[in-house]
Homo-oligomer: A and B are copies of this chain.
Amino acid sequence: MLTERQLLVLQVIIDEFIQTAQPVGSRSISKKDEVTFSSATIRNEMADLEEMGLIEKTHSSSGRVPSEKGYRFYVDHLLSPSRLSNKEIRSIQETFRDQMLEFERVVQKSAGILSDLTNYTSIILGPEVFETKLKQLQIVPLTHQTAVAILVTNTGHVEHRAFTIPQEIEAYDLEKMVNILNDRLYGVPLVQLHEKIFNEVGDLLKTHTRNYEQAFQYLQAALLNEQPAKLYVGGKTNILMQPEFKDLEKVRSLYAMMEKENEIVHLLRSEHPGIHVKIGHENEVDAMQDCSLITASYALGDDQIGTIALLGPTRMEYNRVIKLMNVLSSEMTDTFKSWYQGE
């Protein structure tokens, strides 16, 4: 167990290092107002803290730097809930004040705000599209052989896809099919769409449409095939500003990782609701072993959950950032609730 004084020293070291990114020496600690004892005493305490694995030296006579274990302890026990400045609160609220409400836009904006306020990279994962419900399906013919299929969900999400109509199929058949589908599938969650179509609507379609199989196949390829589980990233370049990433190789591997959207989606999707902090090697992804990843969840409607995440160096302003993400995620949840409650 740590003494009161050790806690204080650890806190000062981490706070200082988060600010400056420089190893913290005993002298500079003893000069702090809240510290009343001499640098020699602090050196002793620091030796103990190091023995416990909470701090490290970069070389034998350097100041101390928090270890991952140190950050972990800090996050678990030392976090003082920080106040956000008025300006920060205002920026967040303004994002949601906008009367134009569209999921994509708001999320995109949120990602921007989050990265701007923190100078880290924000990643927001939209909720599983398939859990949203079908509002409307539609085909807009463009030429004789081409058309656009459009699908609107109850969240205002619009999925669209242009496609070629093969010779054998009349645009009219498609239209008819879409009418039937619209009639029968209104309000059906996208996940159940396949099933519903085969079990309940299939027969109906067959009797009303020529070339049912083909036409349907095309429609399916156009719209129902793919759930792009969108990722919204903000402040990708903020990483370049962090002194820990002056090494190009690190930047490269981190950027390479961010290109792999699938992996990130998978990573974020697997998080449980609530705020989570993963520090350094707690992250399984190789490229992120010098980073911390903070995730929080927001709700869209009743049980559709999305994730907001913030990626920065392990030397992160944890208390500010966590507060910020708390505010943002609940603001998002509230906003989305207000949109869809009148449904």
For A162, give its contact among B101, B136, B148 (CB under 8 Å): B101
Least Cβ distance of A256 to chain B in Å?
7
- Are A146 and B342 in touch, CB under 8 angstroms? yes
- Are B162 and A102 in touch, CB under 8 angstroms? yes
* Interface: A143 (CB within 8 A): yes
Residues of B within 8 A of A248 (CB): 240, 246, 248
- Which one, A30-38, A149-157, A286-294, is touching chain B? A149-157
Least Cβ distance of A86 to chain B in Å?
27
Given contacts A158-B158, A162-B102, A163-B101, contact A237 B252 (CB under 8 A): yes
Given contacts A162-B100, A162-B101, A162-B102, contact A145 B342 (CB under 8 A): yes
Residue total for A at the interface (Cβ-Cβ under 8 A): 44
Smallest Cβ-Cβ distance to A343: which chain B residue: B143
Interface residues of A in 247-287 (CB under 8 A from B): 248, 251-252, 255-256, 259
* Interface: A339 (CB within 8 A): yes
Residues of B within 8 A of A146 (CB): 101, 156, 339, 342
Per assembly, the copies of the chain total: 2
Residues of B within 8 A of A163 (CB): 99-102
Given contacts A142-B135, A237-B259, A342-B146, contact A156 B162 (CB under 8 A): yes
For A140, give its contact among B152, B222, B340, B343 (CB under 8 Å): B152
- Mostly, the A contact residues are mixed
* Interface: A144 (CB within 8 A): yes
For A222, give its contact among B100, B150, B255, B339 (CB under 8 Å): B100
- Are A140 and B135 in touch, CB under 8 angstroms? yes
Q: What are 26 inter-chain pairs, A to B, with CB distance below 8 A?
A: A100-B163, A101-B162, A101-B163, A102-B148, A102-B162, A102-B163, A103-B162, A136-B140, A142-B154, A142-B340, A143-B339, A143-B340, A143-B342, A145-B342, A146-B342, A148-B152, A148-B158, A150-B152, A156-B162, A158-B158, A160-B160, A237-B255, A237-B256, A237-B259, A246-B248, A248-B248
Given A100-B222, A135-B140, A142-B154, 17 extra CB contacts under 8 A? A99-B164, A101-B163, A135-B142, A140-B152, A143-B339, A143-B340, A143-B341, A146-B156, A148-B152, A148-B156, A150-B150, A150-B152, A158-B160, A160-B160, A236-B255, A240-B248, A248-B248
